[in-house]
Structure formats: structure tokens, C-alpha cells
């Protein structure tokens, strides 16, 4: 029986689907340094990972019987994809499964920031009984999202899922991507009603100048997209949301912009130094923070599990 190791976990629905297709599923969490030996000793044919486990050239070379590597999610930064494929190994991912969950996290951060919920949720439990009026005054200058401009860096599935939600609350949405093409989103309202909305693709400088909020939705980059120069173009008092990749926002440049007031607040779900984000970031009251949970909803994990199972069954079959 073909064995699949889900080293970073797999939803119960995905496990069941694989077992129903005739596979054995191993959900042990194996330490990175022990992974090659475990794969070989247990005759693992397929390795499923999320962001924690790294599948680099050395691991691939050490596991000659590995037939498939699967990433539960979109980005495959932690896998040497082309090298694995050059060795005849199938490499798969689930690019559409987590779009809605990441998009909803973006909106959660947006709503939280504009009403200072990220900070008031820290301070109310500590001082709500003794400084109620002070805190009320501190958080009394919130904003509404309706009528504001959201700039999306990227125009892929997740970016457009964010666009759907932002348009739904009355925001103007623009995007910037190398394709230069406008995007059309399809809003499903209710009772089968649909509305098509065009999201205009603009150059990066225009996006940064016009946006009240900038949200990043791009693959891993060799250097930061939002660095000191890019941030200097942004509106005074604007905001940044990064649920995409650590390192595409220069964290020091962001800190400097928060100090100067150029950036009013920012939301980060990903960091340059995961899983140990810089303490200077964690201490900033202007930051809305989450620990890389963009795809971490029950619904997304079920979709990921089922999509992985379907691909594995198609590629490996019953062996």
C-alpha cells in the first residue's frame, strides 16, 4: 500500500479521501533533521507539507523513492520545485483552496485597524475599568472603509477574492501586476444575482499614490516591494496589509514610516524572521498582528485536504 506522510498535518476529510482511494496516511510530525531517514525507513511515496517543513535538494537526493511532494496552500517557497521535477517527482499544490480564507483575514485586519480593535483588545482587559474614558478618547478617531481606495499589489486569485469583499463594502479597488490587464470580478449577491465589476490595473506608482490601504498578494521576491522609496510615495496616513510573504515589506522601513506618521498602521500575518518575529514589531501598538494564519480556517483546510487527495489519487493511483 502506498504511504503518504502529511508532515505538517492534514484535515480529516483529506485523510479519509486518501484512505478511501487506497492510500495509507501517516500524520506523524517528523523533525526536519530526521525526515530523510523516516521517509526511507517507512517507504514513504508522497510527502505533504505546509510552510513548516522544507523540501530542499538535499532531502530530495536523500529520498530516491519519493514520488510526490504536495504543498497544502499556494506558495511553494519551501520546496525546490524545479529540482524535484527534474528528478521525476510530482510537485503539486492547492492554489485556489485558501483564497477565501486569506481574503477574509485581510478584511478582518482592515476592519480591526480602522477602528483600533487590534490595540483596544490589548488595553481594555488591562485598563478598561480604570481608564475607560481615556481609552474611549484614544480610539474615537476611527475611519470607515466605505469610499476608501484599496490598492492590491498582485492580481491573482487571492487578490481578486479580496477585491470582491472590498467592493462589497463600498471601497474603490485598483490593482497592479506585471500583466497590466484589468481584471473582472463576479460578485454573487443573493438569489442567484450576479454583478460584474472591473478592477483597473494601474502602474505601481499610481497605486501607491492613490491608495488609502495597500494589500500585497505576490509570490516570494528576492527583495522587498515596499521599501523606503516605495513607502515614501504612499499617501500620508495610509496603511499596509501583508498576508502574502515575509520580506516583501521592509520591516525597518515600515518601522521608520510608523515613527514619522507616514504610515498610520499596518497589518502583518507574515514576517521576515518566522517563526521568531522581531520583538520591535510585536511591541508596536500601530500593528495588527497574526501568526501566519491566512489559510488556517476549517473550511480552507478541508478544501486543501480534498484537493490534495484528488490530485494524489490521479497521479499515483492505487499501488
Do 9 and 139 belong together in one domain?
no
Q: Average the pLDDT over 14-26 and give the result.
A: 96
C-alpha cell recorded at residue 250: 521592509
* Same domain, yes or no: 283 and 138: yes
Contact 236, 210 (CB under 8 A): no
The pLDDT of residue 192: 86
pTM exceeding 0.85 = yes
Cell numbers for 40: 526511507
111 and 211 part of one domain: yes
Band of the pLDDT at 152, cuts 50, 70, 90? Answer: very high
Cα-flanking dihedrals φ and ψ of residue 136, to 5°?
Answer: -60, -40
Residues 115 and 57 in one domain: no
pLDDT computed for residue 121 by the predictor: 96
Q: 275 with 310, same domain?
A: no
Residue of 56, 144, 274, 298 marked active site: 274
Q: Structural domain of residue 71, as residue ranges?
A: 3-95+298-316
Active site residue 164: no
Q: What's the rounded Cα separation, in Å, for the pair 44 and 243?
A: 32
Given a cut of 70, is residue 263 above it in pLDDT?
Answer: yes
Residues 57-107: tens digit of each pLDDT? 999 999 999 999 999 988 898 999 999 999 999 999 998 899 999 999 999
Q: How many domains does the chain have?
A: 2
Label residue 318 by pLDDT band (50, 70, 90).
Answer: low
Residue 53: CATH number of its domain? 3.40.50.720
3-state SS, residue 181: coil
Helix, strand, coil in percent for the chain, rounding step 5:
40, 20, 40
* Backbone φ, ψ for residue 288 (5° rounding): -95, 120
| Residues 11/308, Cβ–Cβ less than 8 Å | no
β-strand pairing of 194-201 with 183-188: antiparallel
Do 233 and 145 fall into the same domain?
Answer: yes
- Please tell me whether residues 278 and 200 are part of one structural domain: yes
Instruction: Respond yes or no: is residue 50 known to be catalytic.
Output: no
CA gap 47, 285 in Å, rounded: 40
Local structure of residue 152 (DSSP, 8 states): E
Mean pLDDT, the chain, whole residue set: 96
Question: Does residue 319 register a pLDDT over 70?
Answer: no
Same domain, residue pair 62 and 163? no
Can 274 be counted among the known catalytic residues?
Answer: yes
The answer to whether residues 211 and 232 belong to one domain is: yes
Residues 242 and 305 in one domain: no
3-state secondary structure of 26: strand
Considering the domain architecture, whether residues 119 and 75 belong to the same structural domain is answered as no
Residue-wise pLDDT tens digits, 222-235: 999 999 999 999 99
Same domain, 189 and 263: yes
Q: What is the pLDDT of residues 125-142, one digit of tens each?
A: 999 999 999 999 999 999
241, 109 contact by CB (below 8 A): yes
pLDDT of 227: 98
The pLDDT tens digits for 177-220 are 999 999 999 998 888 899 999 999 999 999 999 999 999 999 98
Q: Cα(74)–Cα(63) distance, rounded to whole angstroms?
A: 24
Given this model, what pLDDT does residue 317 score? 81
Residues 6+ apart with CB under 8 A from 60: 66, 80, 83, 84, 87, 89
Of 118, 264, 292, 303, which is the active-site residue? 292
Single out the catalytic residue among 109, 217, 245, 264. Answer: 245
Amino acid at each position: 500500500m502506498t504511504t503518504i506522510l502529511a508532515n505538517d498535518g492534514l484535515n480529516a476529510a483529506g485523510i479519509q479521501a486518501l484512505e478511501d482511494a487506497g492510500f495509507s496516511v501517516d500524520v506523524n510530525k517528523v523533525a526536519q533533521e530526521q525526515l530523510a531517514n523516516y521517509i526511507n525507513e517507512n517507504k514513504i511515496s508522497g510527502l505533504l507539507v505546509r510552510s513548516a517543513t522544507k523540501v530542499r535538494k538535499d532531502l530530495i537526493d536523500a529520498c530516491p523513492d519519493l514520488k510526490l511532494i504536495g504543498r497544502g496552500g499556494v506558495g511553494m517557497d519551501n520546496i525546490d520545485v524545479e529540482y524535484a521535477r527534474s528528478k521525476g517527482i510530482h510537485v503539486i499544490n492547492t492554489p485556489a483552496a485558501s483564497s477565501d480564507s486569506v481574503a477574509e483575514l485581510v478584511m478582518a485586519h482592515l476592519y480591526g485597524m480602522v477602528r483600533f480593535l487590534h490595540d483596544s483588545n490589548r488595553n481594555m482587559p488591562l485598563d478598561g475599568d480604570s481608564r475607560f474614558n481615556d481609552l474611549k478618547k484614544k480610539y474615537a478617531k476611527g475611519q470607515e472603509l466605505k469610499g476608501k481606495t484599496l490598492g492590491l499589489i498582485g492580481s491573482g486569485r487571492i487578490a481578486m477574492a479580496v477585491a470582491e469583499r472590498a467592493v462589497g463594502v463600498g471601497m474603490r479597488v485598483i490593482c497592479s501586476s506585471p500583466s497590466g490587464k484589468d481584471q473582472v470580478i463576479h460578485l454573487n449577491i443573493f438569489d442567484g444575482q450576479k454583478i460584474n465589476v472591473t478592477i483597473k490595473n494601474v502602474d505601481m506608482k499610481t497605486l501607491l499614490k492613490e491608495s488609502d490601504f495597500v494589500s500585497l498578494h505576490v509570490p516570494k521576491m528576492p527583495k522587498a516591494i515596499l521599501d523606503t522609496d516605495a513607502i515614501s510615495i504612499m499617501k500620508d496616513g495610509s496603511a499596509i496589509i501583508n498576508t502574502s510573504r515575509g520580506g516583501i515589506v521592509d520591516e525597518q522601513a515600515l518601522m521608520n514610516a510608523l515613527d514619522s506618521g507616514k504610515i498610520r498602521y499596518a497589518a502583518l500575518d507574515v514576517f521576515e524572521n518566522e517563526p521568531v518575529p522581531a520583538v520591535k514589531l510585536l511591541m508596536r501598538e500601530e500593528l495588527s498582528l497574526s501568526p501566519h494564519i491566512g489559510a488556517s480556517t476549517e473550511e480552507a483546510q478541508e478544501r486543501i485536504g480534498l484537493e490534495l487527495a484528488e490530485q494524489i489519487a490521479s497521479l499515483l493511483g492505487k499501488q
